[in-house]
Amino acid sequence: MLITQELTVKVNEEYILDDVHVEFGPGIHILMGPNGAGKSSFAHALMGHYNYETTGAVEFFGKDILALETFERARAGLFVGFQSPSPVPGLSNFQFLKQAKQSRGEKPNIKEDLGAFRDQAKMFGLPEDWDKRHLNVDSSGGEKKKNELIQMLTLNPKCAILDEPDSGLDVDGIKKLRMELNSFRNNDPDRILIIITHYQQLIEELQVDSVSILKDQKIKQYEGVDKAYEIFEEGFDNV
């Protein structure tokens, strides 16, 4: 479980969230809200971004992670895919994942890991030399999103928060995204997947357990997927 209790998030003394209590159990959860409501900030705050001042508690599988450093939250099994991943010159896509696994105390098997990475890159239609390309450097938006999916599948977190994973993907990319997200959820009944999106086609094809709406510094959560369809029809005005 990922549970926030009296969670308040501020940036430069401006409130993003105020006294929020929300629970994400195993399954797929959609997070929606008006533009600028703070959906990305919510993800950054949970991951421990230094710009965000947080109070309250965030219980992650029985442990309060709010006092932990970002790398400690990652080691605990939290993963965030960003809305606009930053380029990192000098660090290859594969080297990034190798170092990430080493930081968690895992001993990499270079041959096996590289083979798996190349297979995943091929599945997503990425260039043959993708393992050697620098992380998010000269990459399209869709390529960055596919790369984050490979990172998630490789690192196998307990909870993944994906910020607009559909951004920049074509029809085939959306289809693969949907398949991988459903598989990620189904392969481990304890996994939590929180997806920030307003893309109706993606939501329709996912096995959604809840929809949460972030608006006016609060989060309201609804079981099932019906609330998303209501938003598609009526917008956020009456939420």
Q: 145 CB contacts (<8 Å, ≥6 apart)? A: 81, 165, 166, 167, 168, 169, 173, 177
Give 160-178 pLDDT, tens digit per residue: 999 999 988 888 889 889 9
In CATH terms, the fold of domain 2-86+157-234 is Rossmann fold (3.40.50)
Mean pLDDT of 39-53: 94
**CA separation for the pair 169, 122 (Å, rounded):** 15
pTM: 0.93
Q: What is the mean pLDDT of residues 6-26?
A: 94
Element (H, E) at 166: none
Quote the pLDDT of residue 74.
93
**Does pLDDT of 158 surpass 90?**
yes
Q: What is the mean pLDDT of residues 55-59?
A: 96
Is the confidence at residue 225, as pLDDT, over 90?
A: yes
Q: What is the mean pLDDT of the chain?
A: 93
Tell me the per-residue pLDDT of 71-130, one tens digit each, with 9 for 90 and over: 999 999 999 998 888 899 999 999 999 999 888 888 878 899 999 999 999 999 999 999
Any idea where the domains of the chain sit in the sequence?
Answer: 2-86+157-234
Tell me the C-alpha distance between 44 and 53, whole Å: 11
What is the distance between the alpha carbons of residues 88 and 185, in angstroms, rounded to a whole number?
A: 29
pLDDT band at 198 (very low <50, low <70, confident <90, very high): very high
- Mean pLDDT for the stretch of residues 22-49: 95
- Residue 238: pLDDT band by 50, 70, 90 thresholds? confident
The rounded percent of the chain whose pLDDT value lies above 70 is 100
Single-letter amino acid, residue 151: Q
Own/partner pairs, 210-214, CB within 8 angstroms, 24+ separation: 210/24, 210/27, 210/29, 210/30, 211/29, 211/30, 211/32, 212/22, 212/29, 212/30, 212/31, 212/32, 213/32, 213/33, 213/239, 214/17, 214/31, 214/32, 214/33, 214/37, 214/38, 214/39, 214/42
Q: How many CB atoms lie within 10 A of CB 176?
A: 15
DSSP string, 85-141: PPPEEEEEHHHHHHHHHHHTT----HHHHHHHHHHHHHHTT--TTTTTSEETTT--H
